Structure 1
């Protein structure tokens, strides 16, 4: 289907009608290209987006790139062939996602990014947790749990993603307020549980006197906790980021000291809302920040992400 470059008032009105759940002609309304579904956080985004789309009577195609940027480009191409009115992308990599956004741009399909930004192309808005503030909160929580003193390690996320960069920035800023805390090791573990365990095991070989760990997501923190064994949450304080069901359960048992919880279902619902606005041609803010929540043993039972 060839799209007319200029969006007329009549087309805008027809689009608004289509996105209210009427006269879709069998086409898919929205596409959501997730980086992976092998992570509870992104499953939460999927569930939130699907629930919001269903509530609005919209058809949504949700895909899993399995952390492959080439596959993500192909999935966005599929969205355009399905005549979607807007596409939401959760980039595998903030740079590598630029060609995928370009596919949508050339097809005149508005794009919203979620959780991670895209370093190029035309993106209507980026909806993400306040990762920098979350990193600062993690630093403060870890430092205070250690009484402001001790050697700590930092498990970074997947290089090339805005989430990893922003959480690291916030953590670095926050930890500078505690001169008694020394970050003696830092290494990416790609937001992956198994890699988190392996990286933590290697760090412990070199730094047996570690008393604290910040992991930039729950999956890496749970891997680190496995490497730490019975010391996790006790002799070695572990602060995570995400607020996944497994992460919250580990906070409840004391295996993790705390997690800076995102709200993935809320992110997914808001992504659909902003995608609909983009499809209708509404002016959007460049960034929409969703607040994070600190979850500790004291409030874990009442937390619902």
Structure 2
């Protein structure tokens, strides 16, 4: 290759890279340390506690300053928290949106302010704010696939015949939306699986218990429960036992998250299975930020690999669960 050809090739490569990166996203300088915000949605369950600890531990390991906020279950407060981070001119923002639509405007505000944003765990409304264009990337699990995996297990375990009570996650949140759709799309091919009722338990154990207390009275013929997270499933188990039902024997339960207490319920024979939704984001989130600052091409969606737990592996996996 002569010098002219090499020069032209280099120019083409540079233009190609520039085109790939010409998303209008804010720049991020390479620095030894960063000051970043982590806007958490709430801290009322083991999954959120594990996620927050993962982010804090990795920031400490790297020597970064982590500005942490807790929205306490309020989308309005979380939007205000993000705006506070923008006003503080942090280097970057990690946001785990409580709900899709209320948090979408602040994503665009961060972009206009020149602050790169990374969406982790839950998503925002992608019809308005797109990964790779308005924020750097979505990092998290495939919620739709989680719903499908739960449905697949239930169909197999019940031999395609079940009357299901569905405990929905927080209304308007991306996991609740996708976990519901994934489950329903799968069982649509199995007419013997009937969803009797779907009602939100807001991803909490106490609300899951209260909702199940009412629903099992209204639907005593239910033979299965699909809960969008383990906390609601564990609350449902308490309610079912109080109503004289025998979870794991006369009613089958499947849920999502993979927390330690759920694996213990599987070992005890009360919960049938749980699809993991890994909360340990710290290493992956901060490495993605460093790669972005270094000019590496970042995929708009970075999907976690999640495990599946049932009686075959729950005991062996207990120590690695959160």
TM-score, length-scaled by structure 2: 0.83
Structure 1 stretch 109-118 or stretch 272-281: which is displaced more? 272-281
**Deviation of the 1:175 alpha carbon:** 1.6
**Which residue matches 1:163?**
175
The correspondence for 2:232, drawn from 220, 226, 230, is 220
The correspondence for 2:136, drawn from 124, 127, 143, is 124
Q: Which has the higher contact order (CA 8 A, sep 6+)?
A: 1
**Which residue matches 2:290?**
276
Q: Verify the 8 A CA contact 1:45 1:264 in the aligned structure 2.
A: yes
**Deviation of the 1:115 alpha carbon:** 1.2
Q: Verify the 8 A CA contact 2:79 2:102 in the aligned structure 1.
A: no
**Deviation of the 1:280 alpha carbon:** 4.8
**Which residue matches 1:234?**
249
Structure 1 stretch 48-57 or stretch 138-147: which is displaced more? 48-57
**Which residue matches 2:9?**
none
Q: CA RMSD in A?
A: 2.1
User: What runs of 5+ residues in structure 2 fail to find an aligned partner?
Assistant: 1-23
Q: Find the structure with the greater CA-based Rg.
A: 2
Q: Verify the 8 A CA contact 1:51 1:269 in the aligned structure 2.
A: no
Structure 1, residues 272-298: CA drift from partner, whole Å, max 9, x if none?
222333445543222111122111122
* Partner Cα separation in structure 2 for residue 38 and residue 275 of structure 1: 27
Count of aligned pairs between the two proteins: 287
**Which residue matches 1:180?**
192
* Partner Cα separation in structure 2 for residue 299 and residue 133 of structure 1: 20
User: What runs of 5+ residues in structure 1 fail to find an aligned partner?
Assistant: 1-5, 22-27
* Partner Cα separation in structure 2 for residue 168 and residue 159 of structure 1: 11
Structure 1 stretch 235-244 or stretch 273-282: which is displaced more? 273-282
* Partner Cα separation in structure 1 for residue 290 and residue 76 of structure 2: 26
Structure 1, residues 122-171: CA drift from partner, whole Å, max 9, x if none?
22111111111111110011122222212111111111111111111111
Aligned to 1:96, the other structure's residue is in SS state helix
